[in-house]
Amino acid sequence: MEATEISALMLSTCIWGTLVYSDQSAFKSLGLPAVSKPIVMGIAVAVTTFIIIRSPFGRRSGAHMNPAVTLTFLWLGRVHRWDAAWYIVAHFIGASAGVLAAREILGLRLSAPSVQYMVTVPGEHGMAITFLGEFLLAGILMATVLYSSNHRRLTHFTPTLVAVLTILFFVLSPSKSGFSVNPARTFSSALFAANWQGVWIYFAAPCLGMLSAAAIYVKTVGWNRVYCAKVFHDRHSVCPFRCQFEHVYEET
């Protein structure tokens, strides 16, 4: 399921990226301001992410769609190591399959220089700023997921909060980091674009950012306040992970 989810996310990213950034795009002919492009991309990816998280597949699998998220929950002890390994493999395979499907649909438009498989590369401010940007965005995202999904009054708002952050990140980060926050997302685009510039940043920074956010969370809130490895909790479905702790909500 995780492979299918991230495949759908990458397919959507590539399709919308081509519609927005291609030289033949309507946005180019309309002469809209540059800021409109990341806003449209942010909304498109945010809506796709929201739908996946709230879908039966997302509620069943946990809707990680990101190796850095899975690694963080592994560190928190809410994912068995073999579950984490298979999820991470699924992320990379699914993301690559999504870009492959997009190439079959879009053809040369996806590989054009203006789109280039929606590859993420360091921004105009250099690798240090790119690393810092990816680190901070990943940390904010994981902190939001942990604080919202582990509080009864906030848990049902988690998909919405993730979607809002996605739009905000797309608007703020294009010229700074390219906005990935997902090693599998960067890998899949780089694989087809044959562009590995700064790829280590998009592997290291999201993992370190999310792990740092998790460390701060357990330091301030406690280990016993991370109930499950699911981004969006649905009490009517069984947790897909062999978690070490029972998922029980408290009135908070």
pLDDT in tens, 69-88: 999 999 998 888 888 899 89
Nearest Cα residue to 69 out of 187, 238, 194, 183: 183
What pLDDT band is residue 138 in, cutting at 50, 70 and 90? very high
Mean pLDDT of 52-73: 81
Question: What gap in Å lies between CA 99 and CA 12, rounded to an integer?
Answer: 9
Predicted pLDDT at 252 = 45
For the stretch 3-47, pLDDT in tens is: 788 888 999 999 988 988 887 776 666 666 667 788 888 899 999
Predicted pLDDT at 178 = 63
Domain boundaries 2-225, CATH class: mainly alpha
Predicted pLDDT at 232 = 67
| pLDDT exceeds 90 at position 55 | no
Predicted pLDDT at 203 = 96
The amino acid occupying position 48 is T
| pLDDT exceeds 50 at position 153 | yes
Q: Where are the domains of the chain?
A: 2-225
Phi, psi at residue 6, to the nearest 5°? -70, -25
What pLDDT band is residue 176 in, cutting at 50, 70 and 90? very low
Question: What gap in Å lies between CA 112 and CA 74, rounded to an integer?
Answer: 38
| pLDDT exceeds 80 at position 56 | no
80 CB-contact burial (10 Å; exposed 0-12 / middle 13-18 / buried 19+): middle
Count Cα atoms within 13 angstroms, Cβ side, for 52: 28
- Output the average pLDDT for the chain: 83
Helix (H, G, I), strand (E, B) or coil at 84: helix
Per the CB < 8 A criterion, the answer to whether 135 and 125 are in contact is no
The amino acid occupying position 107 is G
First to last CA, the chain: 31
What pLDDT band is residue 169 in, cutting at 50, 70 and 90? confident
Predicted pLDDT at 126 = 82
Higher pLDDT, 201 or 169: 201
What pLDDT band is residue 53 in, cutting at 50, 70 and 90? confident
| Helix 67-75 with 183-193: angle, nearest 10 deg | 150
Predicted pLDDT at 62 = 67
CA distances from 236 to 50, 56, 227 (A): 19, 11, 15
Mean pLDDT of 53-68: 76
Placement of tokens 């390219």 in the chain: 178
Q: Give the tokens for residue 190.
A: 């780089």
